[in-house]
Each structure stands twice: as C-alpha cells, then as structure tokens.
Amino acid sequence: MKTPSLPPFDHQPKPYTGPSADEVLKLRREFLNPGILLYYKKPMMLVEGRAQYLFDDKGRRYLDGLGGIVTVSVGHCHPHVLEAIRRQNETLQHATTIYLHPNIAEYARDLAAKMPGKLKVCYFVNSGSEATDLALLMARVHTGNFDVIALRNCYHGGNMSSMGLTAHSTWKFNVPHSFGVHHAIAPDPYRGQWGRSEPEAGKNYAADVKSLIDYATSGRVAGFIAESIQGVGGCVVFPDGYLKHAYEHVRAAGGVCIADEVQSGFGRTGTNFWGFETQGVIPDIVTMAKGIGNGCPLAAVVTTPEIAAAVTQRVHFNTFGGNPVVCAQGRAVLEIIEREQLQANSLKVGATIMAGMERLKAKHQVIGDVRGKGLLLGLELVKDRATKEPAKAECAHVLETCRDMGLLLGKGGLWGHTIRMAPPMCLTEPDAAFLIEVLDAALSSL
C-alpha cells in the first residue's frame, strides 16, 4: 500500500531526549489508574504539537484529525495563545475569584458577546463534567423541579451527575447515579425510526420528550439537556426542528433547556458559532469546554441573569474556575477564531471532507453513513448496509491503518464503530485531501 504524503509544513520538532515510549508505558502501568484509556495496539507517544500537526518521540509528523479529542480548536501551540499565557504566567498565576482580576471579567464580557438573547452571565469551571454538574444544579434550583430529560446516545461527562445523564452503557458504572434522569429516544436519522427523507422527523422524535414528561415525571421538570451534535455518540446530527419542538415541550412543563456545546461550539460547525444555532433555538443554559480553551482546563456555564441567580442561594465556589491564566488563554482563543476566520475555514474545509466522505461511501460498502457539520464529522461503519450491524473490528482496523499512514482519528458510537473527526479548525485543503486519501487506502485494506 502506497503511503500518501502529508502536505509540506515548515516546522522542525525539537529532538526528543526524554524516556522512551516503552519506559513511559511501564510507568503508566505502574503508577496510573488502569482505567485511563489508551488508543492503539501499540500506544503512541506524542511530544510536540504545532498547528494541525503532532509529532511523536521519533520526530514523525501526524495530522491531528481528532484535535486532542475535539479540544484543540485554533491549533496546537498557537503563537498568540502562547504569548497570552506566557505574559500572564510571569505576572500572576492564581489568587482565586475572592479577589478582583481583570482577566475573568473581561473574558466573561467577550464570551457573553458571542451569545444570543439573554445568555449573558458566565461561571467558569475546569471541565465539561463540572459544567454539566453546575448546569444541572442551576436548572433544579431555578425551577424547583428535579426531573431532567436527556437523550439516549448522549455523553455529558464522567462525574456522578453527568454520568447519570450520559446514556451509553460503556460509560455508566454500575452505581446509582441517574435518579431523576429520563432518557428520550435519540433523534438519530440513520438508526432511528425517521430518516432524513422524513420532513416531520424532528417533530416526531421530539414527541418522545413530551411522552416522557407525561408518563415518567410529575409533569413538571427541571430541564432538558442535549448536545447540539452528539459527539461521543458518533457525530449524530439531529433532524431540523428537533430542538425547537423538544424545547417547547420542556418549557411547557416548567423546565429550562440546556445546550451542551462542549464539542459543537466555537465555530466548529462552520455555519454558526454555536451548534444550537444550527437548530434555530436559543437555550436557557449553555455548557462549554474543550475547544473553549484549546487544551487548557477551562469550561463555562453561560445562562440568563434570572437563572444565574440560583447559585446565590448558597455559597458556590470553584477554586480554579476563572483562573487568570486560563482566562487569558480563553480570550486569546476567541481572538484567533475571529482574526483567522476559523469558523469560515471550518465550513469550507469541512465541505471538502464531507464531499470526499460521500465519494468514499460510494466506493466502500462498509460505510453505512456519513454525517456532520463543518469540522465535526463522522463515518459510521457497518458490516451490512441492510442490517446496519456495527463494524467494530473494521473501525479499529481503519484507525490503526490511518495512524500507520500519519493520520490520527477518533472513534465513537455505542459499539465504537464510527470514525470521528474533529481536527483543529486551521485545517487546510491539502490536509483534507490527505485525510481522504489515507481513509480511502485504509478502507481499501479491509
């Protein structure tokens, strides 16, 4: 098999002089929890990153097709981001929010300026799971209701409250965590009852939210939470109108609507800055993480002044949330998305990849579905297009083969059978051509 060539790139990685990958693996096995996941039969060690590329300990370059799991939004080690955090690190690293600092206030103002409607009040935390937990608290305290509707096939994090919302057996430990959470049918046009040719699909799927409210709760709910595109679930894009109808049912039952923008926010969908905008809705609470910080521990919950007031009923404190260094980084990320027009780039290069994936689907029977928006893309693999039996081993093989050829990808879906792509938003057209060429070769090797 001929290995496609990565587009040229003018960066020489520093010679790596640290412990070998085998030594690091040994240390990990001895001193790190075995539950911490590793990809690939032979785990790889990445020691440097620049823009859309990563370098391993041998200096080999890879195209980062997964963006550090949908996190590296503006590119690895972006010089503007580096400069912003260098300046802040040299001045003050931490003092907490009990004192004033300009970074958290100015960053909140800039982030709020990107939000529609009354979504103007920010609370910074450290991870998506924490953001989910806080959003849930706000919904419950604000409404005085307890029950929450989430979606099957969703992922909202790994702490106890977000694990309760998450709906994949893979990620749910056998302990009590889902009390008061009800999971509606996933509005999945590929696997669900209503496909893309059904004009009422969005409305039909949303009827299950109403049905759950009527049958599984007191009729009053605290809220509804949904990723705007289900990422871990395999990049499932909802039919038009789904969120609009679901929100109507939830608000009629006294609940607030939470949009999880951890993967779909910050321009990644190309057409819009926020994923929920692709569905024409305005949520009451928005959670953000990952791409917000381009790789630093930054996350946020943004809501309306009325809902934000819920958190004043008791003391709520987060030691690192809104730390001056991460706020400097978050602000620099917003500036780069704007300055380098990365949303428009996601739209353009994402369209090229999507067209390439459609061509691959016409050629390779193992591809059951291609989907996504902008640079949040999925390729669902099936053993048989009629039965849609998940092609898990084939997906693992494609991932391994792509890695051998210099392309790093992710996987998702309940059975780990969907290839996921979410590269840094600075991806170029030659990168897109390389990605498709590598995928084609890997699929041909099945």
Ligand X SMILES: Cc1ncc(COP(=O)(O)O)c(C=O)c1O
> Of 333 and 442, which has the nearer Cβ to ligand X?
333
**Residue 296 C-beta: closest distance to ligand X, Å:** 11
Among 52, 88, 127, 204, binds ligand X (CB under 6 A): 127
**Residue 226 C-beta: closest distance to ligand X, Å:** 10
**Residue 225 C-beta: closest distance to ligand X, Å:** 9
CA-to-CA distance for 414 and 222, rounded, in angstroms? 27
CA-to-CA distance for 418 and 132, rounded, in angstroms? 25
Give yes or no for residue 217 binding ligand X (CB under 6 A): no
**Residue 157 C-beta: closest distance to ligand X, Å:** 4
**Residue 126 C-beta: closest distance to ligand X, Å:** 8
> Of 128 and 368, which has the nearer Cβ to ligand X?
128
Report the chain's C-alpha Rg in angstroms: 22
> Of 48 and 227, which has the nearer Cβ to ligand X?
227
Number of neighbouring beta carbons within 10 Å of residue 22 = 11
Give yes or no for residue 326 binding ligand X (CB under 6 A): no
Number of residues that bind ligand X (CB under 6 A): 14
Which part of the chain contacts ligand X (CB under 6 A), choosing from 84-92, 154-162, 310-318, 389-397?
Answer: 154-162
Q: In one letter, which amino acid is 295?
A: G
Q: Dihedral (C-alpha) 21, 23, 25, 31: value to the nearest 10 degrees?
A: -150
Alpha-carbon separation of residue 213 from 149, 208, 216, 284 (angstroms): 8, 9, 6, 19
Q: Nearest residue by C-beta to ligand X? A: 128
Residue 171 sits at the vertex; the CA angle it makes with 374 and 35, to the nearest 5 degrees, is 110
Helix (H) or strand (E) holding 428: none
Among 222, 262, 366, 402, binds ligand X (CB under 6 A): 262
Q: Going by DSSP bridges, is the β-strand pair 229-230/236-237 parallel, antiparallel, or unpaired?
A: antiparallel
Nearest to 287 by CA among 274, 272, 306, 269: 274
Give the per-residue contact string, 222-261, with ligand X (x = CB under 6 A; - = no): -----x---xx---------------------------x-
Which part of the chain contacts ligand X (CB under 6 A), choosing from 109-117, 122-130, 242-250, 318-326?
Answer: 122-130
Among 68, 128, 295, 350, binds ligand X (CB under 6 A): 128
> Of 165 and 405, which has the nearer Cβ to ligand X?
165
**Terminal-to-terminal C-alpha distance of the chain:** 12
Give yes or no for residue 263 binding ligand X (CB under 6 A): yes
Among 65, 157, 324, 410, binds ligand X (CB under 6 A): 157
Give yes or no for residue 208 binding ligand X (CB under 6 A): no
**Residue 93 C-beta: closest distance to ligand X, Å:** 21
Query: Both tokens of residue 160?
Result: 């106890």
CA-to-CA distance for 234 and 418, rounded, in angstroms? 5
**Residue 291 C-beta: closest distance to ligand X, Å:** 10
Among 76, 78, 101, 156, binds ligand X (CB under 6 A): 156
> Of 4 and 231, which has the nearer Cβ to ligand X?
231
**Residue 153 C-beta: closest distance to ligand X, Å:** 11
Q: What is the DSSP letter of 17?
A: -
Which residue's structure tokens are 């809220």? 223
Beta bridge partners of 259: 226, 286
Task: Please list, in sequence order, all residues whose beta carbon lies within 8 angstroms of the beta carbon of residue 296, skipping any fewer than 6 positions away.
Answer: 85, 325, 326, 329, 330
Nearest to 64 by CA among 44, 84, 94: 44
Segment 131-150, which members bind ligand X (CB under 6 A)? 132
Query: Both tokens of residue 100?
Result: 């004033």
> Of 157 and 187, which has the nearer Cβ to ligand X?
157
CA-to-CA distance for 327 and 336, rounded, in angstroms? 14
Segment 271-300, which members bind ligand X (CB under 6 A)? 289
Contacts with ligand X, residue ranges (CB under 6 A): 127-129, 132, 155-157, 227, 231-232, 260, 262-263, 289
